[in-house]
Amino acid sequence: MNTKPLRASVSRHAHFNAAHRLYVKTWTDAQNEAQFGPCSNPRYHGHNYELIVKLTGPIDPVTGYVYDLGTLSSLIKREVEARLDHRNLNEEVPEFFDRVPSAEFIAVAIWKWLRPHLPVHLDLHITLYETPRNFVEYDGAQ
């Protein structure tokens, strides 16, 4: 009998709204507009972010679960939505006081907030949609 557990991925979809401005403080407004386009609007703008948190690991042979998705849902609410939903990312979220709140860096922040609360044997993969067509992925890579 094969005793090696089967592996699978489970995912939870979540959502938050947030405002941001992409800009480099030492650049002029014109330089920022050239680099970031409408995302550099000095008066900010919002996005409806869609988040997918994916966990990969062994299926527990007793429960049949990789991880309890209700628990994951609560974790996302507490660690991610409470920090980001209806926030101005530049002005209210310390991670972005000195870092551009790009979708890439938001995905990294989400990964860092969630990782300590999840079992070490599960791989954590973040997918973050900033618009329906633009999304980024982060899995802890350095």
Which residues contact Ni ion (rule: CB under 5 A)? Answer: 39
Render the burial of 78-107: b for 16+ CB within 10 Å, e for the rest: ebbbebbeebebbeebebbeeebbbbebbb
Q: Based on CB atoms, which residue is closest to Ni ion, 39 or 110?
A: 39
Q: How far is the CB of 20 from Ni ion (least distance, A)?
A: 6
Give the max Cα distance, the chain.
66
Q: How far is the CB of 40 from Ni ion (least distance, A)?
A: 9
Give ∠ CA 81-87-92 in degrees, rounded to 5: 110
Residue, CB closest to Ni ion: 39
Q: Which amino acid is at 30?
A: A
Known active-site residue 130:
yes
Known active-site residue 13:
no
Known active-site residue 47:
no
Q: Based on CB atoms, which residue is closest to Ni ion, 42 or 64?
A: 42
Q: Could you give the residue numbers annotated as active site?
A: 39, 86, 130
